[in-house]
């Protein structure tokens, strides 16, 4: 018999969204699972609500340790494969079975994420509106029917809903808490997983609804406060993963551009792969990789690279334009 999957839900306040999320899990998760609820220093009754849920493992933190800190508390009590789930999500019928099927397709797949209405990068589906959980489940079932078994490799998954293979979790370890309240800790974890030899994949037949940034909004992290947090954590991430290798990586990128101009696409790809290995947080290199992949006809991988470049440097206009054109073309 398959072992239960651990579902870790960290939360700081936003009681109404927590209720909706947990109820959707209870209604729509047939796969045997272990619910691990992390009260991350809440003050609005979330802790008491979690304590009242039958069979759940509940962890209380006296302070808000941020997303990474809350997740780490949950991981300490987890067993087997683990799903990280934001408290402002709603899961439809069949969600966990679809994620698990994608994860177990190959032994080197370390993490899988679903499609969603509110996410960044290639997991995003635009222009969706729902008025009930039944509507979300109906849409998710149709998506699954239309894209059954569709799996796309990517270099980044968003942490709002993320299933992690047990072996990957054991090898990669804890989330990096230097990113504080949140943002870029999932980028960091994805990069560490890839460096440990695991693939990251998007399950094209799985959909999870996401309200988006409800915890941040409840903390007043909107507008300039939100932008400041993003900028600070972007710098933290780039400093951690670029550092002393930046010049060598840019030299390789320059050589790749020359190879691209000569029409030597495989050579350009080889040079860019080495550059990204040295400086995986360099947006320019990811953008150039996207250009090369696009010319090679690997359009979905190119889209992922353009999205990655924009994520790493939000004001990078060339990457923004490439991402827009790629989305329109696809």
Tens-place pLDDT, residues 301-310: 899 899 889 9
Asked if residue 229 is part of any domain, the answer here is no
Does 163 reside within a domain? yes
Percent of the chain with pLDDT over 90: 74
Interval 119-143 mean pLDDT: 92
Residue closest to 46 by CA, chosen among 185, 201, 218: 218
Q: Does the residue 230 lie in any domain?
A: no
Task: Please give the Cα distance from 55 to 176 (Å, whole number).
Answer: 29
**pLDDT the model gives residue 232:** 82
Same domain, 207 and 246: no
Say yes or no to pLDDT of 213 above 70.
no
Contact 140, 94 (CB under 8 A): yes
Residues 276, 279, 282, 285: is their CA dihedral positive or negative? negative
Q: Which of 218, 250, 273 is the last residue of a domain?
A: 218
213 and 301 share one domain: no
Specify the pLDDT at position 278.
87
In terms of residue numbers, what domain contains 292? 242-329
Residue 237 lies in a domain: no
Q: Residue 218 pLDDT more than 60?
A: no
Question: Are residue 252 and residue 193 in the same domain, yes or no?
Answer: no
**DSSP label at residue 7:** E
């Amino acid at each position: 018999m398959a072992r239960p999957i651990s579902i870790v839900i960290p939360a700081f306040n936003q009681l109404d969204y927590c209720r909706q999320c947990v109820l959707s899990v209870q209604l729509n998760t047939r796969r045997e699972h272990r619910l691990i609820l992390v009260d991350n220093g809440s003050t609005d009754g979330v802790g008491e609500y979690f304590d009242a849920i039958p069979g759940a493992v509940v962890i209380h933190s006296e302070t808000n340790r941020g997303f990474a800190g809350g997740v780490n508390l949950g991981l300490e009590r987890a067993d087997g494969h683990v799903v990280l789930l934001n408290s402002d999500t709603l899961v439809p019928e069949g969600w966990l079975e679809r994620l698990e099927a994608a994860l177990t397709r190959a032994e080197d797949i370390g993490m899988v994420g679903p499609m969603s209405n509110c996410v960044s990068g290639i997991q995003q589906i635009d222009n969706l509106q729902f008025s009930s959980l039944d509507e979300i489940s109906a849409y998710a079932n149709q998506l699954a029917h239309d894209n059954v078994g569709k799996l796309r490799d990517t270099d980044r998954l968003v942490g709002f809903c993320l299933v992690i293979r047990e072996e990957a979790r054991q090898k990669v370890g804890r989330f990096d808490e230097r990113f504080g309240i949140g943002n870029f800790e999932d980028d960091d974890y994805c990069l560490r997983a890839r460096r440990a030899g695991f693939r990251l994949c998007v399950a094209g037949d799985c959909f999870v609804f996401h309200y988006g940034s409800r915890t941040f909004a409840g903390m007043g992290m909107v507008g300039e406060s939100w932008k400041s947090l993003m900028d600070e954590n972007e710098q933290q991430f780039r400093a951690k993963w670029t550092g002393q290798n930046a010049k060598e990586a840019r030299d390789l990128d320059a050589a790749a551009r020359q190879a691209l101009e000569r029409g030597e696409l495989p050579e350009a790809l080889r040079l860019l792969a080495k550059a990204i290995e040295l400086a995986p947080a360099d947006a320019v290199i990811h953008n150039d990789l996207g250009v090369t992949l696009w010319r090679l006809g690997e359009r979905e991988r190119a889209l992922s690279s353009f999205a990655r470049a924009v994520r790493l440097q939000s004001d990078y206009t060339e990457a923004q334009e490439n991402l827009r054109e790629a989305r329109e073309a696809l």
